């Protein structure tokens, strides 16, 4: 009898334990898992890939003062603001300190090259100066400002893309210089800059915008001398996705620094709205993505390009958050973000995230000559973890994470 009672008690105890375990299992299964912060995950990947600025260069070649780095670090700046985690700030400072000397000179930078790309990292230097007050950053910022003071221009005052590309404006160049230029105006009280910033965007839209689609062509040659330039319009022949994305990001970032009541701010917001309308009209309905050559979705060989998608979605999401764009654009922007995550994110065996599907580079002219043809754009290599695409995705993810937080 005693052994029988013990058996019954044992069975009862086991049942209670199993029931309790089941309750805990149900509790855990019903508890929502923390959403992956892709902005942080991809920033971690960047730190693994480039623990030192030197490793941004091709082995055996001199280290460059590269705009690519600035794209990543501007994304990381937003991650720092969102998380308040000191490691992101420390990484940004370490990467810039590789170049900036105590006297404010910048290693591997030459003003006399008049390369508009070289201005991009100035945004990061301004950030570091604002946060630390260190004189070396102020001096480096003013060095870049001096470049813009004497940078060659078109007859109407548009900055050439590079001295080696005379009379040419490219969409890319607006991102490289104009947010820095506007931020400098705010930081140092040089208000006349604002009109110049508006002029740059206006000229690019005036000469590069297609009146039918609203999309902007990659480049414009005032002289009409380039083989890639249309003899009548001076425009390059195609709408390259990343260039279109650069222009959008430039608009929404430059607007941050315009004072309220400035007429130029209204002008830029109007340009941004025209840009956004064209971007949404060109979005692929099924995937939510954009093609490398945006206006030729049916052409054989065209493909969805990740950096363009991230830049466009970033611009839309930030424009909506800042109330420059209408909220009714949010569904399309969210579909775009979901499409990016579905198609372009991957994980390696160690669990690190990677960003796929970014065209390494596309340009106009130069040696060997890039003729701006469809075949040229499509021939450029598509790679993993390109700094431009990865950085744009970090910025894009921060905006999505901000939106998700505000909706809770």
Closest C-alpha among 121, 111, 254 to residue 178: 254
Is 172 catalytic? The answer is yes
The CATH architecture assigned to 38-406 reads: Alpha/alpha barrel (1.50)
Q: How far apart are CA 205 and CA 200, in angstroms?
A: 9
Q: State which H helix or E strand residue 359 sits in.
A: strand 358-359
**Alpha helix segments (H runs only) across 189-305:** 192-208, 241-254, 263-281
| Spatial CB neighbours of 23, under 8 Å, sequence gap ≥ 6 | none
pLDDT, residue 331, reads: 98
The 8-class DSSP code of residue 221 comes to E
Q: How far apart are CA 371 and CA 144, in angstroms?
A: 31
* Domain ranges (residues) in the chain: 38-406
pLDDT at 6 over 80: no
- Mean of pLDDT values over 50-65: 81
Mean pLDDT check: name the lowest of 34-38, 76-80, 109-113, 309-313: 34-38
pLDDT at 219 over 90: yes
The CA-CA-CA angle for residues 360, 363, 365, to 5°, reads 145
pLDDT, residue 275, reads: 99
Read off the pLDDT of residues 220-268 as tens digits, 9 standing for 90 and up. 999 999 999 999 999 999 999 999 999 999 999 999 999 999 999 999 9
pTM of the predicted protein model: 0.91
pLDDT, residue 17, reads: 37
The pLDDT confidence band at residue 30, using thresholds 50, 70 and 90, is very low
pLDDT, residue 200, reads: 98
Can you give the C-alpha Rg of the chain in angstroms? 25
The length of the chain, given as a count of residues:
408
pLDDT at 314 over 50: yes
The pLDDT confidence band at residue 61, using thresholds 50, 70 and 90, is confident
Residue 120 in contact with residue 67, Cβ under 8 Å? yes
Say which of 172, 196, 221, 385 is annotated catalytic.
172
Q: How far apart are CA 333 and CA 313, in angstroms?
A: 5
**Tokens 């064209």 -> residue:** 278
- Mean of pLDDT values over 96-115: 97
**Tokens 């006297």 -> residue:** 103
pLDDT at 13 over 80: no
- Mean of pLDDT values over 364-377: 98
Mean pLDDT check: name the lowest of 16-25, 100-109, 333-342, 356-365: 16-25
């Amino acid at each position: 009898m005693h052994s029988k009672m013990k058996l019954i008690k044992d069975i009862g105890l086991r049942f209670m334990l199993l029931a309790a375990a089941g309750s805990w299992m149900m509790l855990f299964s019903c508890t929502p898992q923390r959403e992956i912060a892709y902005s942080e995950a991809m920033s971690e990947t960047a730190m693994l890939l480039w623990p030192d600025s030197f490793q941004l260069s091709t082995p055996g070649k001199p280290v460059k003062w590269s705009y690519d780095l600035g794209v990543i670090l501007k994304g990381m700046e937003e991650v720092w603001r969102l998380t308040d985690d000191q490691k992101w700030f420390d990484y940004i400072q370490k990467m810039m300190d590789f170049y900036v000397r105590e006297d404010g000179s910048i290693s591997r930078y030459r003003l006399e090259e008049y390369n508009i790309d070289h201005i991009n990292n100035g945004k990061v230097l301004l950030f570091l100066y604002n946060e630390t007050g260190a004189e070396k950053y102020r001096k480096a910022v003013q060095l870049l400002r001096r470049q813009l003071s004497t940078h060659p221009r078109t007859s109407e005052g548009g900055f050439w893309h590079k001295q080696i590309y005379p009379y040419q404006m490219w969409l890319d160049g607006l991102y490289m210089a104009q947010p820095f230029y506007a931020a400098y105006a705010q930081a140092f009280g040089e208000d006349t800059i604002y009109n110049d910033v508006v002029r740059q965007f206006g000229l690019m839209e005036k000469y590069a915008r297609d009146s039918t689609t609203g999309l902007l062509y990659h480049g414009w040659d005032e002289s009409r001398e380039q083989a890639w330039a249309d003899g009548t319009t001076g425009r390059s022949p195609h709408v390259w996705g990343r260039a279109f994305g650069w222009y959008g990001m430039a608009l929404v970032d430059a607007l941050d620094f315009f004072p309220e009541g400035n007429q130029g701010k209204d002008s830029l917001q109007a340009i941004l709205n025209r840009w956004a309308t064209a971007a949404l009209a060109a979005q692929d309905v099924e995937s939510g993505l954009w093609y490398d050559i945006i206006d030729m979705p049916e052409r054989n060989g065209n493909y969805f390009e990740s950096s363009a998608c991230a830049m466009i979605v970033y611009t839309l999401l930030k424009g909506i958050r800042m109330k420059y764009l209408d909220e009714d654009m949010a569904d399309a922007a969210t579909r775009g973000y979901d499409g990016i995550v579905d198609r372009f994110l991957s994980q390696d065996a160690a669990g690190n995230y990677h960003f796929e599907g970014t065209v390494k580079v596309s340009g106009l002219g130069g040696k060997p000559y890039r003729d701006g043809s469809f075949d040229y754009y499509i021939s450029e290599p598509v790679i993993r973890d390109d700094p431009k695409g990865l950085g744009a995705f970090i910025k894009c993810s921060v905006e999505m994470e901000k939106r998700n937080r505000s909706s809770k």
